[in-house]
Structure 1
Amino acid sequence: MPNCDHCDAHVSDRFARVFADESGRVRACPNCSANAGIAEVSRDRAHE
């Protein structure tokens, strides 16, 4: 069951397939970031 690495909220397998990074980490989800900016927030958090 995949979870967001930032807020630990559950995300669906489908969400994880789309938004996880190369190592399978989900760094942003609808619970902790704006839906329109998930990809950008995820990319920014990967560099923190």
Structure 2
Amino acid sequence: MLKELSAFIPTKTNILKRKSMCLLHARFVIYTGNTEEEFQQEST
């Protein structure tokens, strides 16, 4: 039971991190007025 919980907790925080990153990315795109393609070109 404890092992399952400790294995589940990191994945849940990873999902939350990914969600917040997506929100930040969406805000950044709206803020700069860039499309995702332009954003990817700038990051490479």
Instruction: Note whether the superposition's TM-score is higher than 0.5.
Output: no
- The structure, 1 or 2, with the larger RCO (C-alpha pairs under 8 Å, 6+ apart) is 1
Question: Which of these two proteins has the greater Rg computed from alpha carbons?
Answer: 2
* TM-score normalised per structure 2: 0.29
